[in-house]
Amino acid sequence: MSAESVQEAFEAAEKDLREGRQQPAERRLQELAAMQPPFAPACFRLAMLAFRRGDNNSSLNLLDTATAAEPEVAAYRYRLAFVQQHLGMNEEAADNFAHTARLDPENVSAMLKAGMLLTAIGQTEAGAEILQRAVLTEPALDQAPNNPKMTPAARQEIATALQTLNKHYKRMNQQILDELASKYPAKERDRFERAMRILYREEKAEYNHPMQRPEFLLIPGMRAQPWLDKEQFDWIPRVEAAYDDIRRELDSLLEEQAEFSPYIVANEEGTDHSKTRSGTDFSSLVGSQSWTSFHMVKKGVISENYNRCPKTMDVMESLPYPEAEDYMPEIFFSRLQPDGHIIPHYGQMNFRLTVHLGLIIPDGCGIRVGEETRHWEAGKVFAFDDSFEHEAWNRGDSERIVLIFEAWHPDIRQAEIDGLQMFFHKRAEWLRRCQPGGRSAIAATMEADNGTD
């Protein structure tokens, strides 16, 4: 038969199935499946029919034939893995679900199933890695167990996968706790240990202020103080003394029309940054020129930008800024246009402060942290704890620009700094290892009924 005749016969069989003519449809499909080489779509369709009537072994054999004929078709391999899992062939199923995810980097369902099966057969590290890749590919997984639009089976599968991944995090975390215990007495590390228990939901977070809710990490016992007094930091006069040099470098950037990028971006490295864990929705600012930044340091030095601001960076390098791999420090010029509004939100953690140096400050600009509003002044520094709810606005008639960087909270202990640096190093190393190949539409892969289509 010619390729056209084969396709016509297959389409006729599909039409027979849609119109309820099961027997003639199966005869056509069997003829196509018996060809040399077999027509893979016919094998796949017969396999689905066999599975529906409970003939699992025939379904398995037909799917083996389909995947052998067209090994790069992810849908065939996914269904083969599904039937293998149904028959208790967990090692084979895990391998084929993982193979499906390699063929289709957006298939979150294949990743979840591969990860859980690998964990079940004792390959816990490999299982955790592919589960992490699923979470990185689809950040909404974290909220999926509570999504009423998904099937109960899908919600339960995701919840179990997240619990399994959490166990892996705790195993990694225990290595950090053991190393800290070898260096510091219990009284120096107790708050960090509690912070880790809070992170992994083994202890409930207790806040000292109703407006403080860090998105990611809370070290309990630190002063809950929205605004910090300048006198607590002996380096602030050094920054203020460098105002003229920093302002000249900023002016040069503006004269050269250096690119300021939108501060809120979507789909960067597979992650949507427009929504936070606490539910703040920055969608109105995604890609917006209203709030932009020129970064010298973000997840490491941005060499070109760093080199354009040598005097600014000389001052920054002289400060005891916080460091944590792929996370801190962040140093940038922040530009907010007239009528710009950075909506109320919470920062990531309470153990480091956000510091602003006012540079170009028109009338009508302000920032609220907690319940207190302050106003920038050119050449003046203030520091605040951004784990408190905060917002900023520009109601003036020209742009507002400040230099933003970070400082450790004055209450932090050296044991906590060491623990945090180890934590972020392990986290960065792990996430790099698990980096996904692409984004996914979770509804398409997880909301379908588990196993019949």
Computed on alpha carbons and rounded to an integer, the radius of gyration of the chain in Å comes to 28
CA dist list (Å): 63 to 258, 276, 310: 57, 42, 63
DSSP letters for 124-160: HHHHHHHHHHHHHH-GGGGGGGG-TTS-HHHHHHHHH
Q: Can you give the pLDDT at residue 445?
A: 37
| CA separation for the pair 380, 401 (Å, rounded) | 13
| CA separation for the pair 43, 181 (Å, rounded) | 60
- What stretch of H or E contains 384? strand 381-384
Is there a contact between 82 and 448 (Cβ–Cβ < 8 Å)?
A: no
Q: Can you give the pLDDT at residue 2?
A: 76
- Number of C-beta neighbours around residue 306 at 10 A: 18
Biggest CA–CA distance in the chain, Å, is: 88
| CA separation for the pair 353, 279 (Å, rounded) | 22
Q: Can you give the pLDDT at residue 19?
A: 87
Q: Can you give the pLDDT at residue 442?
A: 39
- Number of C-beta neighbours around residue 32 at 10 A: 22
Q: Can you give the pLDDT at residue 287?
A: 66
Q: In the structure encoding, which two tokens stand for residue 171, read together?
A: 């195993």
Q: In the structure encoding, which two tokens stand for residue 421, read together?
A: 């640096």
Smallest CA-to-CA distance from 238 within 319, 333, 323, 296 is with 319
Residue 240 burial by CB count (10 A; 0-12/13-18/19+): exposed, middle or buried?
middle
Q: Can you give the pLDDT at residue 282?
A: 62
Smallest CA-to-CA distance from 104 within 117, 92, 114, 116 is with 114
CA dist list (Å): 143 to 17, 138, 140, 194, 417: 38, 10, 5, 24, 31
All residue ranges of the chain with pLDDT < 50 are 268-273, 438-453
| CA separation for the pair 404, 359 (Å, rounded) | 10
Q: Is 279 left (phi over 0), alpha (psi -120 to 50) or beta?
A: left
Q: What letter does residue 208 receive in the DSSP assignment?
A: S
Contacts of 122 (CB under 8 A, 6+ apart): none
Strands of 227-351, DSSP E: 227-228, 261-262, 291-298, 330-336, 341-345
Q: Can you give the pLDDT at residue 278?
A: 52
Domains of the chain: 3-165 (1.25.40.10), 227-414 (2.60.120.330)
| CA separation for the pair 99, 79 (Å, rounded) | 12
